[in-house]
Amino acid sequence: MAAPRIVAPEQAGPGAAPVDERAFAALMQPLGPFEPSPRIAVAVSGGSDSLALCLLADRWTRARGGAVFALTVDHRLRPESGAEAAQVKRWLAARAISHRALRWTRAPPTGATQAEARAARLALLAGWCRRAGILHLLLGHQREDQAGTALQRLVHGSGIEGLAAMAPVRLAMEPDGGGVRLLRPLLSVPRDALTATLADHNQPWLDDPTNRETKHLRPRLATALARLGPEGLSAARLARVAARAADDRAALDRLCTDLLAASAHPAPAGFVTLDLEVLRHAPPALALRALGRVVTTVSGAPHPPRLERLERLARRLLGDDDVKAATLGGCRVVPQGDGRVVVCREPASVTEVLSLDPGESALWDRRFVVSLGRSARPGRFVVRRLGTDGLARARAAARAAGTPLRPDRIPPPARPALPALFDLDGPLAAPHLHYRRTSHRNEATAAAFAAAFAPARPLAPGLPATLRVLPLQDEDS
């Protein structure tokens, strides 16, 4: 195991003022509310940013009768990662700060999957918080990180949504509808102030050499930003641009929610019907934003599609009355002939096959919380898309049993991607179609299957994401 690279506190750059307790309390105040004795987790890699955040958060919570829990992900991306986690634990133990090392067991990512790696680490941290009953997870992103994110989004051609960069408060949703609040109190604080804070506490920190590897885009942009600083494009100015864009984004979000209330009709089966005439009379920027929201919600993706692709879709849908079917972001957009379109999941994009045992629940296709009640009989059951073949078999079985399917106004394009429970004999239950294969042997199992639409991003921010679909019941119950 390689030794970690430790930076001594006297190596902090001169001139910057440390963040004191009063300044940190002011940074935390707009991120509330917090419980009377807050229990807060802090993601601590051992670098200067996260370690300074941990020390500041520790003092803040102790002053309020609470406690901090430091979490370090041993990601195994470098040989010294295990030693780094151990070093962080020793430093924090000397300050009586509780520490947990979370070992990442997935295969180390390549350069092409850095975003997936970040998402996996965040899921690991948020999962620990949920199990521990902790509502708030603090992340150490600071002003240079915020400026780098804004610049990266600018390079990718993002609009206001991307230029707003990282939000100071975000809810990381869990499959059961709960969530952990992700808090970034340091987005306006320069890195030099954080190293000065560590020096003020006589605290060494770890150096991560990958932050300087030019094979990744972000370090290259940081180098470019340093060169552009004398021309006026500094980290401070970019961070201010991101803050202004965030204000604009919040205003657009409110207007977009109003537009969606007038034009979008979401269904528990995971599709949305859109009134194109309402969108055509809206300002183009709002109509584009509404389309992005709908596609993101229906696909279950954590982020909207690329702006250029979304603009192409908007031109096809809103340009004239001759609307053609289209696909985007794992969704199908299908005209209905009455001035409306259905946005539903593209069946070919639904590839997950999930094993489910009695008493279990899980997130399937990033969109549905599926569960199988304990009353189900033992056996091998899987959840996958119903598909056209499964739909045909379910229709034939229902007709033979004298109980035809009841689609309940689920349009045909949306049906093949619906979640269904299968056993070795084929589709056993599809709750949204009110289908269950009836026989004495499997009736209880079919009735015990449930699916609830729970997209990562709901149509309206701040509202519950989950539309519940209850298990099937007998008509006379």
Question: According to the model, what pLDDT value does residue 213 have?
Answer: 58
Mean pLDDT, to the nearest integer, of 420-445? 85
Among 19-28, 79-88, 188-197, 278-287, where is mean pLDDT lowest?
Answer: 79-88
Tell me the C-alpha distance between 304 and 130, whole Å: 26
| Residue 1 pLDDT level (bands cut at 50, 70, 90) | low
- Which has the closest alpha carbon to 219: 152, 141, 150? 152
What confidence tens digit (pLDDT) does each residue in 368-414 have?
999 998 887 887 889 999 999 999 999 998 888 888 887 768 999 99
Mean pLDDT, to the nearest integer, of 443-459? 84
Contact 140, 49 (CB under 8 A): yes
Number of H helices, E strands in the chain: 14, 21
Query: Helix crossing, 81-93 with 48-62: angle to 10°?
Result: 30
Tell me the C-alpha distance between 349 and 327, whole Å: 11
Question: According to the model, what pLDDT value does residue 112 have?
Answer: 42
| Residue 440 pLDDT level (bands cut at 50, 70, 90) | low
With 0-12 / 13-18 / 19 or more C-beta atoms within 10 angstroms meaning exposed / middle / buried, residue 167 is middle
| Residue 477 pLDDT level (bands cut at 50, 70, 90) | very low
| Residue 437 confidence (pLDDT) above 90 | no
Among 95-109, 132-146, 191-205, 410-424, where is mean pLDDT lowest?
Answer: 95-109
Task: Please give the sequence-ordered ranges of beta strands (E in DSSP) within 203-349, or none if there are none.
Answer: 205-206, 264-266, 272-275, 326-328, 331-335, 340-345
| Residue 474 confidence (pLDDT) above 50 | no
Neighbour tally for 305: CB within 10 Å: 20
What confidence tens digit (pLDDT) does each residue in 264-290 have?
999 999 999 999 999 999 999 899 999
Mean pLDDT, to the nearest integer, of 354-370? 90
Please give the angle made by the CA atoms of 169, 370 and 273, to the nearest 5 degrees: 70
Tell me the C-alpha distance between 20 and 253, whole Å: 35
Look at the pTM and tell me if it is higher than 0.85. Answer: no
| Residue 62 confidence (pLDDT) above 60 | yes
Average pLDDT, the chain: 85
- Which has the closest alpha carbon to 370: 452, 269, 437? 452
Coil, helix or strand at residue 280: helix
Question: According to the model, what pLDDT value does residue 469 have?
Answer: 31
The pair of structure tokens assigned to 426 is: 């084929």
Question: According to the model, what pLDDT value does residue 183 have?
Answer: 96
- Which has the closest alpha carbon to 108: 142, 139, 148, 73? 73
| Residue 162 pLDDT level (bands cut at 50, 70, 90) | confident
| Residue 214 confidence (pLDDT) above 80 | no
Among 64-68, 110-114, 187-191, where is mean pLDDT lowest?
Answer: 110-114
| Residue 420 confidence (pLDDT) above 80 | yes
